[in-house]
Amino acid sequence: MRSVRFSGLIFIVGGSLLGGCTQLVPGLNVRKVEVGEHSLSAPVTVKSDPEQKSEWPPYGPTRVPPLPGAVAAKPDPNAGADTEVLQKYRVVKVTPDVVSKLLDDSGDVDAAETAQLPTVTPSDVPPEYMIGAGDVLFMTIWEHRELTDSVAGVSRDPTDEGRIVAADGTTYFPYIGSFKVAGMTVAEVRAYMAGKLGSLIVNPKIDVRVIGYRAHRIQVTGEIKKPGTLTLDDTPKGVLQALDASGGLTDLASSRRAVLVRNGTPYRIDLAALLSGEGPARNPRLQAGDELHFPNRDADRVYVLGEVARQRPIEINRDRLPLIAALTEAGGLDKLSADDSGVLVFRLNEPGAAIAASIYVLDMSSPEGLLMASQFPLRVRDVVYVQATGLSQYNNVVQQILPTVQTLFNAARVGEIASGRRVIRER
């Protein structure tokens, strides 16, 4: 009887587990959904508590912050009332038209964002330098060296004779006194001095030069070899020139992007295009007060998961990374378990967008699909997921169940042996 009971237990438990194989899928199981817009299973209620801060963790263990790009399902007419936020995402089947549109919009840097910034080109004529506080000027009057030399008749180094522009923008010259030069060009200073000295000297020949550039500075930070302050002179300088003057990028730097902050407004610079020269790129001209930051490459990654040879993050170290290149670097699709008709790309949209995320579905089982994969442009922080075949999912579940069935079988065998020995002893 016990043998029958144990065997029955095996069949009941094993049958129940095997019968549920089509429902249980280990790991991430992305169900196939219809193309179009979808909502998450339930909206998220956001409390309008003035004392509640926006950062984590004030939401608490039972509440989660809304995803970037959440849209309000119900407008809130009353200030202070709770707002119901509905998360939406879009499923898009990848077609040649979709790939073409994504290629047009594939840059992480919006060209219109930096279009308003003046650029630096090799053919630029240097603009007139504007004198500022801290600069060192050399002023001399030909045939009247006694007005410029501290020791009359003795020739001295121009640097020693330089006159520093004070913090209030003024400098001093004999027979003129203190006068403001900040904001003036060299030509304007020369004309001003000639007008003041014209009553003392007939047709004064005046030379004015900037021999020490100290007024106009920018801050350069991030993954560069010599971060710090750079001083602008009378030669136009752009992002590339600042990068060169700072010793170049470190091994940890992103080679794709830089950030220029001007008057509190950040501008994303397409560094990949500037460094590669593969396409038109803008080299924004720097001006005093700018902050130039070169971030590290941690954010320049996509993540390849699912049925590939090696699940791993992959860096985008050039202008573009096609989907096929990312899959190749991950070792390609697993020959035994990958469903080449179910390759998904998850992408979060920009904060504030009506659609929080997009899921691109690509069928790589056909030649057309492979061609589209060779052109499909990935963006940083994309997640590529290769689904498993139904048979592979079934096999994975069976492999997880078999140890349990084997344990039950061994227990049954032990029971049968013990029962047999007891029968023998009773005889």
DSSP notation for 285-303 = BP-TT-EEEE-BGGGSEEE
CA distances from 308 to 118, 204, 322, 362, 399 (A): 46, 81, 16, 15, 19
What pLDDT, on a 0 to 100 scale, did the predictor assign at position 107?
59
Tokens of 247: 């010793």
Q: How many angstroms separate the CA atoms of 144 and 199, rounded?
A: 14
State the pLDDT at residue 398: 58
Consecutive 10-residue averages of pLDDT for the chain (427 residues): 47 44 42 70 51 37 40 46 65 92 71 79 85 93 66 52 90 91 95 89 88 94 95 92 94 91 91 78 91 91 92 85 94 89 88 82 92 93 88 59 63 61 52
CA 191, chain centre distance (Å) = 50
- pLDDT for the residue 13: 43
| Cα separations in angstroms, 277 against 107, 114, 252, 281 | 15, 18, 21, 8
Return contacts of 339-343, CB within 8 angstroms, 24+ apart: 339/307, 339/386, 339/387, 339/388, 339/389, 339/392, 340/364, 340/365, 340/369, 340/386, 341/365, 341/369, 342/30, 342/32, 342/386, 342/387, 343/373, 343/384, 343/385, 343/386, 343/387
DSSP state at residue 33 = -
Maximum distance among all Cα pairs of the chain, rounded to whole angstroms: 143
36-107+299-390 is a CATH 3.10.560.10 domain: yes
Amino acid letter for position 124: D
* 297 HSE (CA, 13 A, CB side): 19
Looking at residue 125, what is its pLDDT? 80
Q: Does domain 136-212 have CATH number 3.90.330.10?
A: no
Residue 97: Cβ-neighbour burial (10 angstroms; 0-12, 13-18, 19+): exposed
pLDDT (0 to 100) of residue 288: 94
Would you state the CATH architecture of domain 229-298? Roll (3.10)
Q: Is the pTM of this model over 0.95?
A: no
